[in-house]
Amino acid sequence: AQRVTQPEKLLSVFKGAPVELKCNYSYSGSPELFWYVQYSRQRLQLLLRHISRESIKGFTADLNKGETSFHLKKPFAQEEDSAMYYCALNQIQGAQKLVFGQGTRLTINP
Amino acid sequence: KAGVTQTPRYLIKTRGQQVTLSCSPISGHRSVSWYQQTPGQGLQFLFEYFSETQRNKGNFPGRFSGRQFSNSRSEMNVSTLELGDSALYLCASSLRGVGSYEQYFGPGTRLTVT
């Protein structure tokens, strides 16, 4: 079954330190992966999409098919990065749907 | 442009009742998807409507149903409510549909079943 796993429910790092939010997936086809973010009192919003291979707010994510991972990274964390982060997989085999991970709450300490 | 709106924002219902939630997509968006968010199960896909037709469906019982109107507004109905239906219900709209990077989420409706 298609599955997205975010092993860390909580992650706390200091401002200026590197941050990496882990995401692993299981999918039999060619995956399409996303990172969504939800800041406090705001709506869930798309952060980045692996196909676009872009950097948003300093975050990047590389799809590693060998390790079935799509980790989100930022070299220098900022306090405004504190939020809930969700990794999501676009399942296109069978009923198309977004499969979300359980989310990681990232806290950046000053 | 105006974002996705959901009404009502909060609801309290009793077990066994039914409930209808509404979602108004961004103007021009033809796809509306619904998600259930709970602390235990996280975000789970319910179904997607595109141009008034249900196009995709998640693994939820038939008590969960929906529809979409010609103006793309969508409603979700849950019949015979159970305590486990307490959750935040999110809808998202997009031009092209589920998985499209243009998905925009609403603020959600918080449903409490007592």
Query: Per residue in B1-17, pLDDT tens?
Result: 689 999 999 999 999 99
Question: Whole-angstrom Cα distance, residue B38 to residue A76?
Answer: 31
pLDDT over 70 (residue B103) = yes
> Nearest C-alpha of chain A: how many angstroms from B25?
14
The per-residue pLDDT of chain B, averaged, comes to: 94
For A:47-66, CB contacts with B below 8 A are 49, 51-52
At residue B1, the pLDDT reads: 65
Task: For chain B, say whether A17 makes contact (Cβ under 8 Å).
Answer: no
Give Dmax (Cα) for chain A. Answer: 46
Closest Cβ–Cβ partner in B42, B58, B90 for A102: B42
B98·A49 Cβ contact <8 A: no
Residues of B in contact with A32 (CB under 8 A): 99
* Distance (Å) from the alpha carbon of B56 to chain A's nearest alpha carbon: 5
* pLDDT of residue B67 exceeding 70: yes
Tokens of A101: 């991970």
Cβ-based contacts under 8 A for chains A and B = 55
Set of chain A residues whose Cβ sits within 8 Å of the Cβ of B34 = none
Provide CB contacts within 8 A for B81, sequence distance 6+: B13, B14, B15, B16, B17, B18, B19, B113
Report DSSP letters for A45-107, one per residue. EEEEEGGG---BTTBEE--BTTTTB--EEESS--GGG-EEEEEEEEE-SSS-EEEE---EEEE
* pLDDT recorded at residue A101: 95
For residue B40, pLDDT beyond 70: yes
pLDDT at B65 over 90: yes
Instruction: Enumerate residues 6+ apart whose C-beta is below 8 A from B46.
Output: B33, B34, B35, B36, B57, B58, B60, B64, B66, B76, B89
Pick the residue with more confidence: A12 or B98? A12
User: How far apart, in whole angstroms, are the C-alpha atoms of residue A59 and residue A81?
Assistant: 10
Judge: B99–A92 Cβ closer than 8 Å, yes or no.
Answer: yes
* Residues from chain B contacting residue A101 (CB–CB below 8 Å): 42
DSSP classification of residue B84? G
Q: How far apart are CA A109 and CA A94, in angstroms?
A: 43
Look at residue B96 in the predicted model and tell me its pLDDT: 81
Beta-carbon count within 10 A of A1 CB: 7
Please compute the mean of the pLDDT values over residues B54-76 and round it to a whole number: 95
**What is the pLDDT, as a whole number, of residue B47?**
93
Neighbours of B58 (CB within 10 A): 18
Token pair for residue A19? 């941050």
From B46, which residue of chain A is nearest by alpha-carbon distance? A97
- Tell me the C-alpha distance between B49 and B25, whole Å: 11
Instruction: List the pLDDT tens digit at each of the 110 positions of chain A.
Output: 789 999 999 999 999 999 999 999 998 878 889 999 999 999 999 999 887 778 889 999 989 989 999 999 999 999 999 999 999 998 877 777 889 999 999 999 99
Q: Which residue has the higher pLDDT, B98 or B1?
A: B98
Which residues, including other chains, have CB under 8 Å from residue A81's CB and lie 6 or more apart? A19, A57, A74, A106, A108
Band (B26; pLDDT cuts 50, 70, 90): very high
Residue B101 pLDDT class (50, 70, 90 cuts): low
